[in-house]
């Protein structure tokens, strides 16, 4: 292992930059050359990459986004694209690849490894936190705190104007962010993909609450479980009460990474380099039970099951 490459793929997540910093600086400390690939797989296909030195990653530890940029790359799904990516790797004498991203990135890396035998190590970075076998990905903690900050602000208006709010947060397939911020934000209800929505229970609670003087509600919905506007319309129809919506959207993706997102990124970046040096491949790294774990790509990209029962109950009891 003399030369490695690092890239960020899929949706950007806060903490990708410190992960890059760690791969580069730790890699160099281990006598490796490190190349940075721009825009993920697209950069491999189009040979957009360049050597990185310690200076290249200075001042980025606290910055959101990714200096290597990221992109979706449909060309990579075709044989031709993969072949060209492989040629870039051979031409540049790259012995191993660190792929910072989420499930989609790992699926691609797994296929690439199988076809061309280029060692790939994944670094789990995704605000959806949906990598199987991994409790926390880089960026999750930041996204949660951003969403919580927004919900705290919405609470001011909900309370002052005695209104019902439906707030849509990230989470296409996972209710993790929704549950976490609903709990931390003292929200009255939460709608997630993992659980059948019970609009009549929600509306019953609202009507009942109104009778005993509870006038403001915040209901969090994960984007994968429905549209905030639809839920709000149903609530208004069933309760007769005006209901507002907020869709937090891309705001949750950016921002300066929290301490937890940075420290996880820095540790995973180092660990990825250690894995490549140790001859490992075809696996993703993340945080599970407070420790760095290695999860083979095949496992990582399976559907992550979220134990939601206790979580959900606690939210209902505490509000």
**Closest CB 8 distance from a copy of itself, rounded Å:** 8
Binds a copy of itself by CB under 8 A, chosen from 5, 7, 12, 191: 12
Sign of CA dihedral 270, 275, 277, 281: negative
**Closest CB 79 distance from a copy of itself, rounded Å:** 25
Binding status of residue 75 toward a copy of itself by CB under 8 A = no
**Closest CB 287 distance from a copy of itself, rounded Å:** 8
Binds a copy of itself by CB under 8 A, chosen from 90, 114, 153, 303: 153
* CB nearer a copy of itself, residue 71 or residue 207: 71
Sign of CA dihedral 168, 169, 171, 176: negative
> What is the β-pairing status of strands 120-124 and 283-288?
parallel
* CB nearer a copy of itself, residue 141 or residue 194: 141
* DSSP category for residue 195: S
Question: Contact 214/239 with Cβ under 8 angstroms?
Answer: no
User: What are the angstrom distances between the C-alpha of 223 and each of 135, 177, 189, 264?
Assistant: 20, 10, 15, 26
Binds a copy of itself by CB under 8 A, chosen from 3, 33, 46, 61: 61
- The window from 107-115, 156-164, 199-207, 219-227 that contacts a copy of itself (CB under 8 A) reads 156-164
Q: 261-300: which residues touch a copy of itself (CB under 8 A)?
A: 262-263, 266-267, 270, 288-291
How many other C-beta atoms lie within 10 A of the C-beta of residue 318?
Answer: 9
Q: 31-60: which residues touch a copy of itself (CB under 8 A)?
A: 39, 59
**Closest CB 176 distance from a copy of itself, rounded Å:** 11
Binding status of residue 64 toward a copy of itself by CB under 8 A = yes
CA angle, residues 160, 248, 290, in degrees to nearest 5 = 105
Rg (CA), the chain: 22
Binding status of residue 190 toward a copy of itself by CB under 8 A = no
* DSSP category for residue 188: S
């Amino acid at each position: 292992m003399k030369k490695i490459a690092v890239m960020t793929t899929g949706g950007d997540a806060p903490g990708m930059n410190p992960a890059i910093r760690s791969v580069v600086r730790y890699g160099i400390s281990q006598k490796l050359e490190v190349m940075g690939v721009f825009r993920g797989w697209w950069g491999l296909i189009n040979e957009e990459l360049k050597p990185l030195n310690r200076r290249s990653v200075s001042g980025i530890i606290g910055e959101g986004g990714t200096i290597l940029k990221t992109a979706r790359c449909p060309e990579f799904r075709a044989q031709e694209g993969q072949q060209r990516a492989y040629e870039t790797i051979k031409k540049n004498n790259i012995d191993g690849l660190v792929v910072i991203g989420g499930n989609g990135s790992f699926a691609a890396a797994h296929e690439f490894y199988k076809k061309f035998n280029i060692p790939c190590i994944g670094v789990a970075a995704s605000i959806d936190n949906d990598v199987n076998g991994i409790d926390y990905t880089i960026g999750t903690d930041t996204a949660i705190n951003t969403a919580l900050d927004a919900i705290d602000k919405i609470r001011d208006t909900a309370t002052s104007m005695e209104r019902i709010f439906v707030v849509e947060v990230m989470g296409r397939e996972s209710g993790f962010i929704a549950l976490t911020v609903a709990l931390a934000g003292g929200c009255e209800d939460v709608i997630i993909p993992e659980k059948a929505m019970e609009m009549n229970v929600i509306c019953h609670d609202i009507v009942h609450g109104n009778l005993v003087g509870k006038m403001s509600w915040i209901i969090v919905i994960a984007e994968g479980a429905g549209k905030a506007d639809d839920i709000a319309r149903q609530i208004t129809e069933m309760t007769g009460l005006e209901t507002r919506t907020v869709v937090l959207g891309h705001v949750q993706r950016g921002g300066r990474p929290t301490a937890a997102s940075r420290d996880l990124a820095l540790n995973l970046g180092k660990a990825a380099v250690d894995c490549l040096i140790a001859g490992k491949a075809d696996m993703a790294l993340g945080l599970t039970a407070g420790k760095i774990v290695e999860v083979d790509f095949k496992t990582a990209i399976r559907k992550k099951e979220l134990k939601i029962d206790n979580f959900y109950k606690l939210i209902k009891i505490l509000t």
